[in-house]
Amino acid sequence: MEGACVYVVQGHNSVLVMYKEVEKNKVLHLTYSNGTSHHQFITTKLLTQLLPHDCVHILYSLPYLPDSLETTLNNWISIGINKLNILNRQEERRKNDKMFNNTVYNLNMNMKFTDFNERFKKN
């Protein structure tokens, strides 16, 4: 059991949660929000109780260095933030593409096409 998810609490605060089962029923759990992180070791049962049902899973695999907890946590934060930045850029591109496609569609709907013969008939 490992991965990362994100959810929004109280208005507009995003929370990034990252977790990995490092031993049987022992999960390294990291929360990161507004530049602040907190980590702890919890049970798998507690993890399932802590994750909100409406969270969005963004990663399904995380590295773990058992000899260096600090390096592991720093890597996780970096990986999570990079993934969120990629997803945000993709979403922005989708919005721009949709806006562009709607504009082109609307322009085409307003154009009036005349019959070929009518356009080039001799006066």
| Domain parsing of the chain, residue ranges | 2-108
Sheet with 2-9, side-by-side order of all strands: 36-42, 26-33, 13-23, 2-9, 56-59
* Predicted local distance difference test score (pLDDT) of residue 92: 85
* Predicted local distance difference test score (pLDDT) of residue 41: 98
* Predicted local distance difference test score (pLDDT) of residue 11: 75
* Predicted local distance difference test score (pLDDT) of residue 91: 86
93-116 burial, b at 16+ Cβ within 10 Å, e below that, comes to eeeeeeeeeeeeeeeeeeeeeeee
Per-residue pLDDT of the chain (123 residues; tens, 9 = 90+): 999 999 998 878 899 999 999 999 999 999 999 999 999 999 999 999 999 999 999 999 999 999 999 999 999 999 999 999 999 898 888 877 776 666 555 555 544 445 545 555 555
